[in-house]
Structure 1
Amino acid sequence: MRPDKVLTIGIDIDGTVTSPSSIVPMMNESFGKDLRYEDCYEYNLANVYNITDEEFDQWLEDNGERLYDEAPVHGSADRILQSWHPHYKLVYISAREARHRDVTINWFSRYSIPYHEVDLIGSHDKLAAAKRWGVDLFLEDRLENALQLSQALQIPVFLFDTPYNQGELPSLIHRVSTWEEVHDYVERLSLRKSSV
């Protein structure tokens, strides 16, 4: 990266900017379960809730708008993203579908989440979008995405620790528990880049 280039940060939304546990109460309500966030040991919630992928897709079709509207902010994401906005380019790349743009932008506005770009790609394959936006690092909660992005782009990925993303990580993926940890990493990375 050239020293004069602004650091471009790719950011997932669900489970990264929003609390990763926010889907559980709604799914419990819909499927008559009493699961805890800690019981969500894999990303595919159809397996966790013992339903078909089609049933989950239909549930998301019916409840996505409410889920995206009611999700709480993940920790201090709002404050830290506000502090980054003047210094870095913030590009949100999400598996949400384009039809959920209004509810997404309204949620960002409600919580004063700043952005430069919001790319709702409707797929978990974020590689093409990350390349298109030229991201220098990525924030994610899905292990498969973190592995793909770090390997294909040779960029650091910060993986928010959840019950569903456990496993060995290669050196470019950094497991983090809080937004403060990510902030410290990004500040160090930014300082290193600017001194090159």
Structure 2
Amino acid sequence: MKPEKFLTIGIDIDGTVTSPSSIVPLMNESFGRDLRYEDCLEYNLANVYQITDEEFDNWLAQNGERLYDEAPVHGIADQVLRNWYPLHKLIYISAREAHHHDVTLNWFARYQIPYHEVDLVGSHDKLAAAQKWGVDLFLEDRLENALQLSEALQIPVFLFDTPYNQARLPELVHRVTSWEEVDHKIKTLSLGQARV
């Protein structure tokens, strides 16, 4: 008999399971720039690259498939997620569009990253999906999402440290620098200790 899952973990994909720097080389190639990941001090890359939101949306529509196919894994995310899978319910909630479902699942298969559900919501507003799946905590790289989810749902959010999400954080949002660190914090939660 399989053990009951301990936690339902909401997990962003881009910049969380995939390396947060993976979009920069592709954008440099397309826009003839030589920016570094460290130069991306805000989440809105249209501002960073000094292009319009429409130009960025058009670029993503043309290059999204390649971006999602070629993105490297963020650190040891694949190993950690394989270890969590028998213990926790893994729900990936991403702003990716639904038509990127196949490339997303193929990428997960290539890196042997397990999942219970993959919900591509097509928007940065992940609140309804997080409520639908009843997540106990969330892993994210976008500051605005972390703030919204932690406040609305009163759940812990682990925010992966990036140049574009620097700010003072409320009590429920915990900055983490690696998958090793978030793994340790989840183990602490799983043991029933109140503090993260």
TM-score of the superposition, structure 1-length normalised?
Answer: 0.96
- 2:127 maps to amino acid: L
Q: CA deviation at 1:193?
A: 6.5
Report if the CA contact (8 A) 2:159-2:175 is conserved: yes
Aligned-residue identity in percent: 78
1:10-89 to 2 correspondences below 5 Å = 10-89=10-89
CA displacement 1:15-39 (0-9 Å, x = unmatched): 0000000000000000000000000
Partner of 1:125: 125
Q: Whole-Å Cα distance in 1 between the matches of residues 5 and 181 of structure 2?
A: 23
Partner of 2:113: 113
- 1:125 maps to amino acid: D
Partner of 1:165: 165
Partner of 1:91: 91
Q: Whole-Å Cα distance in 2 between the matches of residues 79 and 125 of structure 1?
A: 28
Aligned length: 191
Q: CA deviation at 1:5?
A: 6.2
Question: What secondary structure, in the 3-state scheme, does the structure 2 residue paired with 1:192 have?
Answer: coil
Q: Whole-Å Cα distance in 2 between the matches of residues 150 and 93 of structure 1?
A: 15
Report if the CA contact (8 A) 2:42-2:163 is conserved: yes
Q: Whole-Å Cα distance in 1 between the matches of residues 113 and 64 of structure 2?
A: 20
Q: For the aligned residues, what is the CA RMSD?
A: 1.2
- 2:188 maps to amino acid: R
- 2:8 maps to amino acid: T
CA displacement 1:85-105 (0-9 Å, x = unmatched): 000000000000000000000
Q: Whole-Å Cα distance in 2 between the matches of residues 189 and 131 of structure 1?
A: 20
Partner of 1:140: 140
TM-score of the superposition, structure 2-length normalised?
Answer: 0.96
Given the alignment of the two structures, is residue 181 of structure 1 paired with residue 185 of structure 2, yes or no? no
Q: CA deviation at 1:6?
A: 2.8
Note the residue ranges of structure 1 that are not aligned, 5 or more in a row: none
